[in-house]
Amino acid sequence: MRKLLNTLYVTDPDIYLSLEGENVVALRDKETLLRLPLHNLEGIVTFGHAGTSPALMGACAERNIALSFMTMYGKFLAGVCGPEKGNVLLRKTQYRLSDSEGASLPIARNIIAGKLYNSRWVLERAIRDHAPRLDAGRLENASNLIAQAVPLAREAGSLGALRGVEGEAASRYFSVFDELILQNKAEFAFDGRSRRPPRDRVNAMLSFVYTLLVGEASSALSAAGLDPFVGFLHRDRPGRRSLALDLMEELRAPLADRFVLTLINNRQVVPSEFILKENGAILMKDETRRGLLAAWQERKKEQIVHPFLKEKIEWGLVPHAQALLLARHLRGDLDEYPPFLWK
């Protein structure tokens, strides 16, 4: 359990939440672990927990405290709200800004600047930690080109220009991604990003983990009171969770890409765990996906210091922190949206 930006996150599945006076009480086997005044909270997010008392649900609805229920894997299940919901105003602001390219652009710029910054530092950390085992000059060149793209992203005059900067930088990043693969390089060869279908084992894993990440970003946005389908960089398209795709951009390299590289370089996946289809697609076997999911859950438990909040949190809560920061910006509490900058 932890409190982050006036939101209580309950990640222990054995915790039961109840109401005691004007306090929310966290219990495990009838033992009180935590007591917090309701007036200090804007939201409560629970992950696969034991339950919540009807009295607490009613108190949260009455006081306009967002109460959200997630599975242990971070999938949004449901939320409790009362007859009046402050999130209506938040979403109206989101829709209004999304309808205007000029209003969307500052948020989109920061998102892409964060993505490029993080992509660069994935390369820089590889140079620092594994220089003798890779072509450091090749990585340094790509890193320098991506660094030059960051100010271009911050100054882009349109969403189209911003996407152009992002696309060029992403091409530079993936052009050297194979250097980061240190084990089984022949079996886990990577020759560029391929999506539908993935043409190699690395792309198969990247696509699967990106799908997990966009799902968790979507859940975080829903819990923060935002509409995951209405974005600022990614525009509206039926069925597309555009804002979730926006939010995950900053986390692709430091969380998803590094996770896949860790599985390969630690030999936690082997070539025989993949299937070659007749159309050339490479797919993971069912047991491979299950093992990857288990490893993903463990990775999300690892702690980092959030660069903006200066608090130690789990990787799994980073999408929630960013969703809350975006909501605060839209409410006018922050002058601009602070992207997640990993180093």
Of 174 and 81, more confident: 174
CA distance 336 to 186: 45
The predicted pLDDT at position 258 comes to 96
Mean pLDDT, to the nearest integer, of 267-274? 88
The predicted pLDDT at position 79 comes to 76
pLDDT tens track for 301-317: 999 999 999 999 999 99
Rounded mean pLDDT of the chain? 89
How crowded is residue 160: how many other Cβ atoms within 10 Å of its Cβ?
9
Q: Is the pLDDT of residue 84 over 60?
A: no
Name the band, by pLDDT with cuts 50, 70 and 90, for residue 271.
Answer: confident
The predicted pLDDT at position 150 comes to 95
pLDDT tens track for 152-190: 999 999 999 999 999 999 999 999 999 999 988 888 988
pLDDT tens track for 112-135: 999 999 999 999 999 998 888 888
Mean pLDDT, to the nearest integer, of 233-242? 89
Q: Which of 46-60, 200-214, 233-247 has the lowest mean pLDDT?
A: 46-60
CA distance 317 to 326: 14
HSE (CB half, 13 Å, CA atoms) of 160? 0
Name the band, by pLDDT with cuts 50, 70 and 90, for residue 2.
Answer: low
Name the band, by pLDDT with cuts 50, 70 and 90, for residue 5.
Answer: low
Instruction: Tell me the percentage of the chain whose pLDDT exceeds 90.
Output: 57
Name the band, by pLDDT with cuts 50, 70 and 90, for residue 332.
Answer: very high
Radius of gyration of the chain (CA): 21
Name the band, by pLDDT with cuts 50, 70 and 90, for residue 72.
Answer: low
